[in-house]
Structure 1
Amino acid sequence: MNKLFRSTADAKVTGLCGGIAEWLGVNATLIRLLVVLAALSSFGTVIILYFVGSMLIPKMPYSHF
């Protein structure tokens, strides 16, 4: 089972959407669009949850090749 991390390679703001996209195996743009649409329809509640999730979910550890 994959562990959820914030992405270091596919980060626009905090890397949370990129990490969720890697975890689910979907395109990060789709997750970002869903977050924006949810934020607009929830009167900002999703924005608060996004930053709380960014504080709780750890950053992906760097792997040495």
Structure 2
Amino acid sequence: MNRIKEVLEQKGIKQTWLAEKLGKSYNMVNAYVQNRQQPRLETLLEIAVILDVDVKDLIVSNKHS
């Protein structure tokens, strides 16, 4: 699971803009945002750089408190 959707909403950024910056199709980015598909680690790191966030902010922890 990822938090790309939440981060995009917090920053007021559209999926189309992110898709353009990543050089990926809107459909691929939408699949990431809707958690239908998970990006490769390299892509996740690239998204973090583009959105200016820590990569940890883009993923949901698997640890339960």
Asked if TM exceeds 0.5, the reply is no
TM-score (norm 1): 0.33
Name the structure where helix makes up a greater proportion of residues: 2
> Max radius of gyration: which structure?
1
Greater length-normalized contact order (CA 8 Å, ≥ 6 residues apart):
2
